[in-house]
Structure 1
Amino acid sequence: MARLSTPGARAPDHTSLNLTRLISRLQNTLLEPDAETSHRLRASGFERRKVEANLEYAKTLLLRLGQESPNIKPQSNKQDAQSDLQAKRQQLDALDARLHELNAAGQEYDDNASSEGEDLLGEDTPSESVGDSHTPAAGDTTDDDDADYQQILSERRAAAQATQTASQPRNARDELFPSSLRARHGEAAAGVDTAQTTSFSTSAPMTESLMKHHRAEQEELTTSLLSMAQALKTSSQTFSQTLESEKETVDRAGEGLDRNVMGLEAASKRMGYLRQMSEGKGWWGRMMLYAWIFGLIPRLTPPSSRYILFGAGSIIAIDAITHHNPHLVHPIMSSVLVLGAGELGTEVLKGLATHPSSKDTQISVLLRPSTINSTDPSKAADVAAIQSMGIALVPGDIVQSSPTKLAQLFAPYHTVISCTGFIAGPGIQMKITQAALEGGVKRYFPWQFGVDYDVLRRGSAQDLFDEQLDVRDLLRGQRSTEWVIRSTEWVIVSTGMFTNFLFEPSFGVVVLNGEDGAGTVVRCLGGWDNKVTVTTAQDIGMLTAEIVFAEPKIANQVVYTAGETISYGRLANVVENIVGKPVKREEWPVEWMEGELQKDPGNVLWKYRVVFGKGRGMSWSEEQTFNVQKGIQTSDVEEWARDAVNKKLLK
């Protein structure tokens, strides 16, 4: 029975359906394989590469759906779509992890022997678009295979001539395989007698040789297609980067034209003023006035000044225009808004206010109205200190305000730097990022002052870290969806752990003068050779200001900093040097910490300990950092700790 389409019904999302089916097949192949499939996956690198190609195609479909999800209406459908995308993303991560395990455990089997039979997924993918018939290429097989192949072709030609009839001849594929065999992508051809046998027979060795020849050719074509796809991907990325750079040039040119218009308007007003001065003076009076102005110009302007002639003898110095509009010649960043003035926000404000390039930049900070108007002596002193640096106070509430209201608040500013931290709760970082994009902020520094979330990946013990990856996906997605529209440039500053957090008693890594007379204790998370990158809050503020004003401008990339990348073993030695005596060393294995987290799933500190104990994305080489490459001095762990002890910050 035919199914009638309902008028007005929404067309199915073929991309989503294809992705769902592909994920289902991948799960059957990787997560729930039968014995034969499992053996083939472990034994054949070729089979694993085919599965990997299907997995990459699934990721491409997921990225496409993620780019289209902001345009879904109404809101309920949009939320359902985003929830579905999140679930699919987690499924793909699990499949990706399983494929990595199979690659690691793979054994050196004969790929040709393991790849016989049907594909594991039972369906062609974009990387397997090989035609039905193949023409053997020279040099693809051995001499013996070529001889067998030529012998089979000769026998087939002779048999075809002997049995030629008025019926439609079958193709080479039908001659080699009986029509009763199931087609790879459809049913057997209609009208063909399935009981009919081939008009010739070949020996098993010949057939095996021909099949081996075809398999080798198919593998070569598949490899070639994969290489072509990789080349196309690289070319696409290069083209996207080129468009980004050209877009930036066009934006700057537009800003320059706007400033030129302002300068010309100012010049027009000055010319009008000159005309008013000359009205009623007559021809001779006007000539005397122009001569008087012309005589004063060399004395009032330096010899290097340039002039423009407007109309009948009206001369305007370019210096006068640029004095009226200084941005005409040297466009500069005009305004920076810092969100929050906590431990990091205060240091970023200090770094910006004291930077040599900030003299023409208006720096502002967003604070809650209750903080600005607080009568608490400590808060009032902090607010006064901020104002003493020439920083403007902007009232606003990140948590209570809607994204639209925040977008209106951000719109007047060239650069927005988020220093709000995780204390505001889940969803806030995405809310701020969406507001920055909606408000048309030209440059945005999200709250990413921490570990390398790209390496960490999703699904860690600290669930707040997944939102950081959502922020990165949203910012990076601009290039593929809005390249013809002015997009927001972004800079992510990865700093590692704040140095003082290593010595936080509640974190438990370094405990000075522990309870019950235990003395100083140093604990390692995961192992003594495990490493962690740390940067002090003061250095983060200073380096952030350097990145903001860096020339050439830094945009659309992750910038790494480091005061020091240190192992827990070296940390214990540093603490011993500071306290002047041996310390007690304790090791917290990852398995034990995971058990403690299971007992108290909501404990934030145990979440952090498990993540740092696993070590993934927690450290990087100091040589790749911005401060080392620019020769900027920063504080290491021992230097910071000694200074903190001297200032009685550590006891």
Structure 2
Amino acid sequence: MTAAHKTQNILIFGATGLIGRHITNAILDNAASFAGRIAIFTSSNTLWTKSDEIDALKARGVEIIGGDITSADAVNEAYTGFDTVVSCVGRPVIQNQLLLIQLAERHPDVKRFFPSEYGTDIDYDASSASEKPHQQKLKVRAALARVSKLQYTYVVTGPYGDGDSVLYLAASGPENEARGTFDVKRKRAVLLGDGNGRISLTTMRDVGKLVVAALQHPEEARNRALRVNSFTATPKEILAEFERQTGGQPWSVAFTSLAQLEELEREAWAKSDPKAGGLTLRRIWTSGRTLYDARDNGLIGMEDGVETLESAVRQAIKVQTEVEDEE
């Protein structure tokens, strides 16, 4: 067995997306530990529509490579000089990673590949193989299972514990609150299940830190899934922390039972509702499928240094309040 490869030069795909921003920022914050080049591969459209963000990355020393992620020639050329690829592409384009893996396996420079796994565990148990939102990521794992040269790591974080739109600590609004909500403005919560089921969450800031830690621990992270998180809490415990940080008064509370959530999910898929996948994921989380006998934080030196329920709720309140101010 070959030794685990130490990362020096990193090429990032999806760097300006929802989770990509946090992962890229964490890598840049720790750039000195890699002692090489850091670059992003992005589309011509992103170069135009997110020019301020691109300029900010350039100012931090990031190399910008424009190109088409579906072009073998463009990707193959971009790989030159980079030993590690970190993919942060979003769910709608997960399948594009199949080409990225194929080319990385053949390229003489690329040694490590981090696919866009951040989120729900797609290999939690036997039932995972049939879950509709998992299908493209399962194809990516199958492709990596066939490689012989390329080393890989799956960073599995569970749901994001943040207050940004549609995330677990977000406000869903009255029309969508049955899918779960922690609404700071209305002091209204709809808890999934009976409120007592534990769920493991990872803030997006911690996702970035955990990816960096995996990059810095090549032997421990090689060719495996790292199941990591920030904290574990019940919906009732999360609500109690929101109440404590918003003045101590009780919020208005309702519940969406697991059976009700399953019915909402079935209806959404039957209508080809874009929200159907999100409801499936919430049903998975509410069923306890973010829980493990032990997490892998300690393998990569991150048993400490991750966020707590208190800090995650504090940031979620800030995010929701800022959105209200903008409106």
TM-score bin, normalised by smaller chain: 0.7 to 0.9
Residue in 2 aligned with 1:273?
A: none
Q: Name the residue aligned to 2:105.
A: 437
2:28 maps to 1:353: yes
Query: Per-residue displacement from partner, 1:388-412 (whole Å, max 9, x unpaired)?
Result: 11110011222xx245653443354
- Cα distance in structure 1, aligned partners of 2:252 and 2:309: 19
Unpaired runs of 5+ residues, structure 1, are 1-244, 253-331
Name the amino acid aligned to 1:338: I
Structure having the higher strand fraction is 2
Q: Relative to 1, partners in 2 of residues 1:385 and 1:477: Cα closer, same or farther, differing over 3 Å?
A: same
For residues 562-621 of structure 1, give each alpha carbon's deviation from its aligned partner in whole angstroms, at most 9, with x where no partner exists: 111122121221222122221222222233233333333222434322332244574134
Native 8 Å contact 1:526 1:614 kept in 2: no
Q: Does 1:642 align with 2:314?
A: yes
Partner Cα distance (2:114, 2:86) in 1: 5
Q: Which residue of 2 is the match for residue 451 of structure 1?
A: 120
Conserved 8 A contact 2:181-2:191: no
Match of 2:39 in 1: 364
Within-5 A mapping of 1:410-489: 410-424=79-93, 427-439=95-107, 441-456=110-125, 457-460=128-131, 463-478=132-147, 482=148, 487-489=149-151
Report the counterpart of residue 109 of structure 1 in structure 2.
Answer: none
1:356 & 1:342 partners in 2: Cα distance? Answer: 20
Q: Residue 159 of structure 2 contacts residue 200 of structure 2 at CA under 8 Å; is this kept in 1?
A: yes
Matched residue SS, 1:595: helix
Distance 1:627 1:646, change over 3 A: farther
Q: What's the offset of the Cα at 1:552?
A: 4.4
For 1:274, the equivalent position in structure 2 comes to: none
- Which residue is equivalent to 1:583? 251
Distance change (3 Å), C-alpha of 1:405 and 1:551: closer
- Aligned ranges for residues 604-615 of structure 1 at < 5 Å? 604-615=274-285
1:522 Cα deviation from its structure 2 partner: 1.9
Deviations 1:406-432 (A, max 9, x none): 3443354210000112133x6334343
**2:67 is equivalent to residue 383 of structure 1:** no
CA RMSD in angstroms comes to 2.8
> Which structure 2 residue ranges, 5 or more long, are not aligned?
none
Structure 1 stretch 388-397 or stretch 586-595: which is displaced more?
Answer: 586-595
Deviation, 1:623, is: 4.6
SS in 2 for 1:464: helix
Q: Following TM superposition, by how much is the alpha carbon of 1:357 offset from its aligned partner in structure 2, in angstroms?
A: 4.3
Does the C-alpha gap of structure 1 residues 637 and 411 become closer, same or farther in structure 2, counting only changes over 3 Å?
same
Q: How many matched pairs? A: 305
- Residues 447 and 359 of structure 1, relative CA distance in 2, 3 Å threshold: closer
**Cα separation, partners in 2 of 1:442 and 1:576, compared to 1, 3 Å:** same
Provide, for residues 185-237 of structure 1, a one-character-per-residue CA deviation record: whole Å limited to 9, x for no partner. Answer: xxxxxxxxxxxxxxxxxxxxxxxxxxxxxxxxxxxxxxxxxxxxxxxxxxxxx
CA distance in 1, matches of 2:294, 2:200: 12
Q: d(CA) in 1 for partners of 2:243 and 2:68?
A: 45
State the secondary structure of the residue aligned to 2:137.
Answer: helix
Q: Does 1:494 align with 2:178?
A: no
CA distance in 1 between counterparts of 2:237 and 2:220 reads 37
Deviations 1:260-298 (A, max 9, x none): xxxxxxxxxxxxxxxxxxxxxxxxxxxxxxxxxxxxxxx
Percent sequence identity is 18
TM-score for both structures, normalised by structure 2: 0.81
Match of 1:120 in 2: none
> How many angstroms does 1:513 deviate by?
5.2
Tell me what 1:532 maps to. 199
Residue 625 of structure 1 is aligned with which of 296, 302, 315? 296
Q: 1:562·1:622 contact (CA, 8 Å) conserved in 2? A: no
**Do structure 1's residue 338 and structure 2's residue 16 form an aligned pair?**
no
Q: Cα–Cα, structure 1 residues 617 and 532, in superposed 2: closer, same or farther, change >3 Å?
A: same
| Offset of residue 364 of structure 1 | 0.3
> Is the CA contact 1:445–1:490 (under 8 Å) kept in the aligned structure 2?
yes
8 A Cα contact 1:410 1:436, kept in partner: yes
How far, CA to CA, are the matches of 1:366 and 1:454 in structure 2? 29
Q: Say whether the 8 Å CA contact 2:10–2:83 is kept in structure 1.
A: yes
2:19 and 2:137 map into 1 onto residues whose CA distance is: 18
TM normalised by structure 1 equals 0.43
- Contact 2:169–2:316, Cα closer than 8 Å, also in 1: no
Structure number with greater CO (CA < 8 Å, separation at least 6) is: 2
Asked if the contact 1:622/1:628 (under 8 Å) is kept, the reply is no
Larger radius of gyration: 1
CA–CA distance in structure 2, aligned partners of residues 496 and 385 of structure 1: 30
Q: Does 1:594 align with 2:266?
A: no
Q: Secondary structure at the match of 1:248?
A: coil
AA partner of residue 113 (structure 2)? Y
Task: Select which of 155, 166, 169 maps to 1:503.
Answer: 169
The one-letter code matched in structure 2 to 1:595 is E
8 Å CA contact 2:153, 2:221 repeated in 1: yes
Residue identity matched to 2:150: T
Answer yes or no: is 1:522 the counterpart of 2:189: yes
Equivalent residue letter for 1:363: I
Post-superposition offset of 1:497: 1.0
SS in 2 for 1:505: coil
Match of 2:63 in 1: 392
* Deviation sequence 1:494-529 (CA, Å, 0-9, x none): 111111111333474224256xxxx32222333322
Contact conserved, 1:455 with 1:617, CA < 8 A, in 2?
A: no
Question: Structure 1 CA distance, aligned partners of 2:315 and 2:8?
Answer: 36
Deviation at 1:477, TM superposition (A): 3.1
Q: Secondary structure at the match of 1:597?
A: helix
Which amino acid is the alignment partner of residue 66 of structure 2? Answer: P
Q: Which amino acid aligns with 2:61?
A: G
Shift in CA distance, 466/450, structure 1 to aligned 2, threshold 3 Å: same
Aligned to 2:211: 544
| Distance in 2, Cα, partners of 1:577 & 1:628 | 34
Q: Secondary structure at the match of 2:135?
A: helix
Q: Specify the code of the residue in structure 1 equivalent to 2:277.
A: K
C-alpha displacement of 1:359: 5.4
Q: When you count helix as a share of all residues, which structure comes out higher? A: 1
Query: 1:625, CA displacement in angstroms?
Result: 2.8
The 1:530–1:407 alpha-carbon spacing in structure 2 relative to 1, beyond 3 Å, is farther
Structure 1 runs of 4+ aligned residues shifted over 4 Å read none
